[in-house]
Each structure stands twice: as structure tokens, then as C-alpha cells.
Amino acid sequence: MAKGPLAPTLREKAQKWTRNAVAAQSYYVQAVSRPEVANRWLENARAAADAYNQAMQQVIQENRWGNRMNSLTPDVWARNVRAKADRRVQGIQIATNKWLAGFEPIARAIDAVRQTLPPRGPKMSEQNIQRAIAVMRAIHQAALERKGLSAGAAAGFGGYSAPVSQSSVEEVPPAPTGVGAGFGGGLGVGLE
């Protein structure tokens, strides 16, 4: 039996799909919450690394990203941002603990290196530049260690010894205000 044309009923089919997909949300969450599903996803994702890398090389060679961006107008971006605004808030709420766990080692490294920095010098002095470099190195080292890429202790950043601090994120002093306060992400280690 031949079916009729698809195009005239496409809107109806899209609405039906949306209705059914939304109604199946609890089944979806239940299915993806099973450990074997997550393990299978991870195995498949790891196995696909070479194919992904090859595909990305083709994307780069063909400048697909650049071509697509050149075909858009700012109103496309703005419309999509407005349409997905609630998802942003939900994502932020879900990510709060992950952010805290990810940033805590960096905050500890900043606290540790701050204790070892010499006093600030005049604006843009070599002394202040070295202070900033020491903090950047401490942040970089902490990020590497957080990812398991380096096993070194949090010491020796920028030529300054930095003992590991047992402070918590809440103990990080508030960022300074005023001219130059934004340098270093508002961490109070600017070139002032």
C-alpha cells in the first residue's frame, strides 16, 4: 500500500514526535540511569575517537564552521539564545557542584602561592609581572593535577615556594575593586 506524500503532514508528525518524546521523559531517565548504559556509552565514545578525529580534520579542511558562521545573522543567535534561556538556568543549577569541585583545587593553589608572593611593586613593574606569572603557573599546575596530568606538589611556581594550603574555597579573600582589579580573573593578583 502506497503512502501519501510526506511533506504535507510533516508539521503534524513533528508535533506527534514532540508529544511522545516529552511523555517518554521518565522512561528515558530511567533507561540512561542504568550503569550498563553509561558504560556502553563510554566504551562506544572511546572506540569512536579515531573516527571523530578524522571527521574533524575534514570539517577543518572544508572550513565548514567558518562557512556556516558566514551564512548566519546575529538575529539567529539571539533568537536561539532566548528560546533556550530556561535550559541555561537549569544547566547552571545542575553544574554548581561540578564547578565547585573543579575550581576548589585551583582556589587552593591560588591561596598557597599568594602566601609566598613578595609585596606588590609599582604598576607594571617586573616584580608585579613575576607575581602574576607565579599565580598563572600555580593555576596551570593545579589544573593539570586536577586532570591527573601531573603529579607534582603545589610548590615552586614562578620561582616561589608554595606550600599546599588546607584552606577551602570559602576562605579565598574577596577580589579587590578598582583600576586593574580585573586582571587575573579578579583574584587580587593584578599588576597594580
> For 50-106, what is each residue's pLDDT tens digit?
999 999 999 999 999 999 999 989 998 899 999 998 888 888 888 988 888 888 999
> For 6-18, what is each residue's pLDDT tens digit?
778 888 888 998 9
Q: How large is the average pLDDT for residues 168-173?
A: 37
Say if residues 134 and 160 touch (Cβ distance below 8 Å): yes
**Is residue 6 situated within a structural domain?**
no
CA distance 39 to 112: 38
If you search the block for the grid coordinates 538575529, which residue do you land on? Answer: 75
**Is residue 47 situated within a structural domain?**
no
> For 8-49, what is each residue's pLDDT tens digit?
888 888 899 899 999 999 998 999 899 999 999 999 999 999
**Is residue 87 situated within a structural domain?**
no
**Is residue 83 situated within a structural domain?**
no
The residues near 186 (Cβ < 8 Å, ≥ 6 apart) are: 175, 176
pLDDT tops 70 at residue 170: no
**Is residue 166 situated within a structural domain?**
yes
Which of 110, 126, 109, 127 is CA-nearest to residue 118? 127
Number of folded domains in the chain?
1
H or E element at residue 41: helix 35-47
pTM: 0.47
Output the CA angle 108-113-117, nearest 5 degrees.
Answer: 150
The residues near 172 (Cβ < 8 Å, ≥ 6 apart) are: 107, 110, 111
**Is residue 37 situated within a structural domain?**
no
In degrees and rounded to multiples of 5, residue 160 shows phi and psi of: -105, 140
Gyration radius (Cα) of the chain, Å: 25
- Residue 122's DSSP bridge partners are none
Q: Which domain holds residue 190?
A: 103-192
CA distance 61 to 84: 31
**Is residue 40 situated within a structural domain?**
no
**Is residue 94 situated within a structural domain?**
no
